[in-house]
Amino acid sequence: FVSRNFGQMRNLWRLLLSVQPSRGLVDEKFSVRVQNAPPAHPLTMHALLHSEDGDTWEAFGHYVTDAGGDVNVTKDPSLGGTYVGVEPMGLLWSQRLVPGSRPGLRFRKQDVQTPMQVRLSVYQGHQSEGFMDRAVLASVMMERWYMAPGVRRVNITEGGVTGTLFLPPGPGPFPGLLDLWGGVDSLVEYRSALLASHGFASLTLDYLKPAQVKNEYFEDAYRVLQQHPQVCRRRIGLVGLSFGSSMALRTIYSNVIQVRKCLNSVFMCFFNEICIKVQPDSNQLIWRNALLPMPTDTSKKVDVGRLQCPLLLVVGEDDQSWPVPESADDMMERAGNSHLLTVLSYPRAGHLIELPYSPHCRASKFLTPLHKERVMMLWGGEAAPHSHAQEDAWRKTLDFLRKNLYCSAD
């Protein structure tokens, strides 16, 4: 075949590209297969998606067909591209901004009521650039959803509380979760939407206004969730990420919030904007040294000895934003009730341990909560091990939630 006649080549091959399932949840694995190509032939698998902000992301892997002219991404290794080796979900988690894009962006789905649409394409040879100018041998669109069919999204503005409640399909009542995101100035819904897709009534909370970062506000939110007719009032937990973990841990001192479990991903007990360090070669800020060495004054720490519910800590060992491994070790040493603590620790994973198959974000622009200064923050982590950590942590998180909110006795 000659490279200038791709249309004729595609017809002669009768090349087939398939994705199963082509429509599913974002944490659901899919299989990609190419059939009817020549044996031992180089092909490039390419995945393209457009964010709601108009930015374009891509990932690609280099493959060689087997003796039957097939490529099965689930079991065949990528020889190059944005990921290497046998990585069934590499076309998602290795997504990166196309060349020439705005710097410092982080992929986030804003409207969870619409799917993330990913265009999968096959190209001749091993390509690494200029995909838009190349002929496509085969292409298919797939959809990944945060909301399963039947999940309901409810705006909450009552009792001074603002947020979004996601309810699973059916009448309930369901175990409830308060979902506290990190230091962002907007409501983040996609984790709560996916938690509801797995059977939990999840309230993602808007709480970063100065008047709201108080235990009273979280107590009000807890009451709103507890009093909802489709929430099991005696089976409620908290989920925190980054600064949200700090807020979740502070509820230990509340006489109102009586949680059944607490999950903290990349937690830290204080939010501090001092002692920042600039990485000279990239002008990225590192916050992890702000509280090192760990304070010895116990009055400056959350008293984990008061903990009366199971607590799961998810730790990225290469976190460059907070001294997370040191904090987890400190908590384990001080906890007289260590049987309630479970620590998942991941080497070469960074700060932003998100939903499975989310593109790894090593650094991005960040608006500091106190001074409202936009900086380039180094979060840490390496793409492949960080992504594997996200997949493993999510599976174990769901197991933890089911065990303590669905299966345990009152």
Active site positions, annotated:
242, 319, 351
360 to 290, 308, 383: CA distances (angstroms): 24, 34, 6
Annotate the chain with three-state secondary structure.
CCCCCHHHHHHHHCCEEEEECCEEECCCCCEEEEECCCCCCEEEEEEEEECCCCCEEEEEEEEECCCCCCEECCCCCECCECCCECCCCHHHHCCEECCCCCCCCCCCCCCCCCCEEEEEEEEECCCCCCHHHCCCCEEEEEEEECCCCCCEEEEEEECCEEEEEEECCCCCCEEEEEEECCCCCCCCCHHHHHHHHCCCEEEEECCCCHHHCCHHHHHHHHHHHHCCCCEEEEEEEEEEECHHHHHHHHHHHCCCCCCCEEEEECCCCCCCCCCCEEECCCCEEECHHHHCCCCCCHHHCCCHHHCCCCEEEEEECCCCCCCHHHHHHHHHHHCCCHHHEEEEEECCCCCCCCCCCCCCCCEEEEECCCCCCEEEEECCCCHHHHHHHHHHHHHHHHHHHHHHHHHCCC
51 to 101, 110, 117, 254: CA distances (angstroms): 12, 9, 9, 40
Cα 155-156-157 angle, rounded to 5 deg: 120
